[in-house]
Amino acid sequence: MQNLLIRADANSNIGTGHIMRCLAIAQAWRSVGGRVWFAAASVPDAIYEQLRIEGFETINLNSNDDPQTVVGHAVYLQASHIVLDGQRFDSDYQCEIKQARLNLLVLDDYGEAGHYYADCVVNSDLVLESLYDKREPYTHLFLGPSYALLRSEFKRTNKTPESTARNVRVLITMGGSDLQNMTLTALEAIERIQAQNVEFRVIVGAANSRFEALQKFAKKILFPIEVMKNVSDMPAQMQWADVAIVAAGVSLWELLYMGVAVTCWPRYRQDVQVLEELSKRGAVLPLNLDADADAIAKALTRLLTDLKLRHSLQLAGSNMVDGQGAKRVVEIFSQLPATSPGGIKAH
């Protein structure tokens, strides 16, 4: 089995999703006998610790690293396969990796890299193939929720059935950094709802510096609410939840897989179309890009008071995401030969 080098970062500006979905690839790669290294210029200590516990080795890079730095590490490690995840890895960056005759997989979100030279491109959103018209003839596309990259710890188990004997459980999670401070807006929304028999858990990501402020604000809210940070077992938190308020990103696909009724907030304008399509398929209750606390309160109230809607969303989401995305990607990417065709020309 070939060696794999993953290049991705995590910080307060870009969040932690890039590293976490790469971790799903790393786990799937190791499961078929390969060895994996992570190369990063910035990663929060909690994420480094998670990689260490998982048994993956890390390489510390300078923030101004270039493709040749990655190629040099790949050659030293005898890694014939490279994964890139991040908006900075544009067409020029990909081209240099391919000119070094290395196999390349790019995890992508918005199709904004320009021309794609990667052997494989993964985008789990509901996007059209035309988004990647500018690509090499050999580039293989993995598009849609079938390729949502879930870590191996996400295993479906029977959820505790809802009943009038217990509270409706609501999870709030806005990603690893929550640059727009969506968590605070969601907490403000809770203050506005008129409901009974509801309890909340708020997950603050590893790259979010507002934990103490959010915890202080939550203490003013009359509902039972717990604010948590650096949670090591996110599947257990999602297993607990009936409903979730979430920002578009990696956590959305995890929650759908776990059968949680989701109302989702687009972080960027590119997320709006994806959520609209998920809504058409009955899997998500979408929020507008400019949603405020009142809008979130309205959506949450709808979910809390409409059991039929909750169950419909839960079923549609769990049917859409089967948790085998990383396995599907690795099965094809790992079969590329140790020396792939080179000599490509820049566009």
pLDDT of the chain, 347 residues: tens digit per residue: 799 999 999 988 888 899 999 999 999 999 999 999 999 999 988 889 999 999 999 999 987 889 999 999 999 999 999 999 999 999 999 999 999 999 999 999 999 999 999 999 999 999 999 999 999 999 999 999 999 999 999 987 766 667 666 899 999 999 888 888 999 999 999 999 998 899 999 999 888 889 999 999 999 999 999 999 989 899 999 999 999 999 999 999 999 999 999 999 999 999 999 999 999 999 999 999 999 999 999 999 999 999 999 999 999 999 999 999 999 999 999 999 876 444 344 33
Residues 115 and 174 grouped into a single domain = no
Same domain, 95 and 180: no
Task: Check whether residue 138 and residue 192 sit in a common domain.
Answer: no
Same domain flag for 224 and 260: yes
pTM for the full predicted model: 0.93
The domain that holds 174 is classified in CATH as 3.40.50.2000
156 part of a folded domain: no
Q: Report angle CA 331, 70, 39 to the nearest 5 degrees.
A: 75
Output the domain CATH number for residue 43: 3.40.50.11190
Whether residues 107 and 174 fall in one domain: no
Phi, psi of 266 (to 5 degrees): -70, 130
81 and 120 co-located in one domain:
yes
Give the DSSP letter string of 24-68. HHHHHHHHTT-EEEEEES---HHHHHHHHHHT-EEEE--TT--HH
Quote the domain boundaries for residue 261.
168-320
CB atoms closer than 10 angstroms to residue 19: 30
**In a shared domain, residues 188 and 255:** yes
Q: Which amino acid is at 304?
A: L
Total structural domains within the chain: 2
Of 149, 158, 131, the C-alpha closest to 273 is 131
